[in-house]
Structure 1
Amino acid sequence: MSFAEEVKNEIAHCKPENAACRFAELAALLCMGGSLILGSRGTIGIEFSTSNNAVARKALKMWMESFTVRPEVRVRQGLRLRKKNYYILRVTPSPESTAILRDLSLFPTDAEFSAIDLRKADCQRAFLRGAFMGGGSVNQPKGDYHLELVTGNAAFAEKLLKIMRRFHLPAKTTDRKGDYLVYIKEGNGVSQFLQYIGAAQAYLKFESVRVVKGMRNNVNRVVNCETANLQKTVDAAVRQRRAITCIQESGLYPRMSPKLREAAELRMANPEASMSELAAQSGLTKSGLSHRFKKIADIAKQIEGQKKDEI
């Protein structure tokens, strides 16, 4: 089961706080996953389909608690390669169904859902919950953070975006192949969205994976940093020993000042030590010791330059 299905299964068991929240959740669910059916004399019905059994039961329960018109329930088998069943709730066009859809702001299409009370935060959360059950998806927290709501209705997408921004969620919108997407690509935003729609268990799972993922990334950064520093230490030690050897082979080593010879002997005796370790042994500051090695390197360059000129 995908993480998105786990979220839908969990929020399908969330009970709306009141009738207004139930209307908001049902309206968003049907707008997201349903399609209107044209009947005679201007009547309208609706057909809602989903592959999630829990969502289908939730849609039926909310409908039956709200209206007296009973929808037809059917199960359609999926194709061989996709064995999931599809659960279909169909309300035949009639004057009663037309009035119901008008009460849900689904007929005529009402971009602002003016018949639904969306002033309170609990109704707004119920609205987002219904939208996610109808056409939402979210990536596994182990991968990239991505949550999206997909709808064919541009006005509905804008309404979802407006509500999500009321909750200060970092949501954005775009279009793809005739559909409109409202999406979040930030870990904190996805986490907050799961909280708002009532997916408590999914939220805890998401956060626990995020913590482990963050710790692993921090450990990797520390290891990479230490590896890079170790490589720098090794490279510096090799350059310094090479410069000292060059001076020794030229016969000019005894002519160096006592301070430079002291630094050279310290390095040759401690080939793998870092500059901080050498500084601690010598009683010098790190910058002071580095300055001495720079002078040794300059002498070695002069010697190598003279050798090239002789050649």
Structure 2
Amino acid sequence: MSFSSDVKGELARLEIKKKEDMLAEISGFLRVSGSIRLNGSGKMSIVASTENPAIARHFKKLIRDYFGSSADLEIGESEAPGSGKHYSSGYRYSLKIGHEGKSDRILRETGILMIKEGDDYLSDGIYQPIISKKSAKKAYLRGLFLGCGTISDPKKSYHLEFVIKRDGLAQDLKKLIDSFVEMRANISKRKNQNIVYIKKADYISDMLGIMGADFAVMNFENIRLERKIKGEAMRLSNCDNANVDRLITAAERQLKDIELIDKYMGVDNLPLRLNEIANARLKNPSASLTEIGNSLAEPVGKSAVTKRFAKLKEIAEKLKESI
């Protein structure tokens, strides 16, 4: 099971008690997963499909609890490429609601079928009266995610998206997400689809919490923490390696300066402090500046050691010029 399917499984097991939340969640799901079929005599039926059996059961129950309508459940082979990857069955589950199952009422109450100047028309976007309350906003997002949302494995990347066909719905969804405190979504195009997406880890964690996936939030945050610890350990390791490389390079330069001075001038002819620091480096080729300073008869700090090596370098440079 993928992380995305785990999240959907958790959301599909939630018990929705408020009527307005039931309607909002049903509306969000039907908006992206439902289609309308004309059966003659002006009668319509609704077909809503999903690859996830838990989601199909969840909405069959919600529709029954809210509308008192029993949706027929049909199972067929999935049409989606690689559908068996996340669900072992590889089947497609379709909820079908006919005229006798109150399809007209469902379409109107969910804001999908509207009337203007006496004519019916299909709306494009979120029916705002459905999301007038904060809990209903959360429920609508949950319905949309169960219908068209995915989230990447946080062990690999941070990405949550909704795949939306209609431009109006994509814009409304972005506004809905942005209405929550410190949340922001973006929209991009992928072929003929709108992708409403979130890539910031904090926002994704908040979105999971908003939709009610509390267990997924804990799992997500644990993975984030593990990644952060591993990243910090890697950074420190790289930093340590870089420091060691710099230390070795600096020590090699100092040894070359001292060897040059000894060859053409003699280390013993250096002033006492420079003689002492030169001999300390010769005895401890890989020691740090701090360790060199502490090894002297009268220990000195890193700054003083640096100045003395700088003086040795200056002497070595003058010797090179005179050779």
Residue of structure 1 aligned with 2:140, choices 90, 102, 127: 127
* 1:272-311 paired onto structure 2 within 5 Å: 272-282=286-296, 283-307=299-323
The structural deviation recorded for 1:111 is 2.4
Cα root mean square deviation, aligned: 2.0
What whole-Å deviation, never above 9, does each CA across 1:32-64 have from its counterpart, x for those lacking one? Answer: 212222444554432111110000011111111
CA distance in structure 2 between the aligned counterparts of 1:95 and 1:245, rounded to whole angstroms: 96
CA distance in structure 1 between the aligned counterparts of 2:282 and 2:173, rounded to whole angstroms: 69
Q: Corresponding residue for 2:211?
A: 197
Comparing 250-259 with 8-17, greater Cα deviation is found at: 250-259
Q: 1:137 to 1:220 in 2, by over 3 A?
A: same
Q: Corresponding residue for 1:13?
A: 13
The structural deviation recorded for 1:81 is 6.2
The structural deviation recorded for 1:265 is 1.1
Q: Corresponding residue for 1:181?
A: 195
Structure 2 stretches of 5 or more lacking a match?
85-89, 114-121
Residue of structure 1 aligned with 2:163, choices 150, 173, 176: 150
Query: Percent identity, aligned pairs only?
Result: 30
2:312 counterpart letter in structure 1: I
CA distance in structure 1 between the aligned counterparts of 2:124 and 2:163, rounded to whole angstroms: 18
TM-score where L is the length of structure 2: 0.88
Q: CA contact under 8 A between 1:43 and 1:95: conserved in structure 2?
A: no
Q: Corresponding residue for 1:104?
A: 110
The structural deviation recorded for 1:258 is 1.7
SS at match of 1:278: helix
2:304 counterpart letter in structure 1: G
1:171 counterpart letter in structure 2: A
The structural deviation recorded for 1:140 is 0.9
SS at match of 1:47: strand
Q: Corresponding residue for 2:245?
A: 231
Structure 1 stretches of 5 or more lacking a match?
none
The structural deviation recorded for 1:120 is 1.8
- 4+ runs of 1 displaced by more than 6 Å? none
* 1:74-89 paired onto structure 2 within 5 Å: 74-78=74-78, 82-83=83-84, 84-89=90-95
1:259 aligns with 2:273: yes
Q: CA contact under 8 A between 2:48 and 2:96: conserved in structure 1?
A: yes
1:23 aligns with 2:23: yes
Number of residue-to-residue matches in the alignment: 306
CA distance in structure 1 between the aligned counterparts of 2:18 and 2:4, rounded to whole angstroms: 26
The structural deviation recorded for 1:164 is 1.3
TM-score where L is the length of structure 1: 0.92
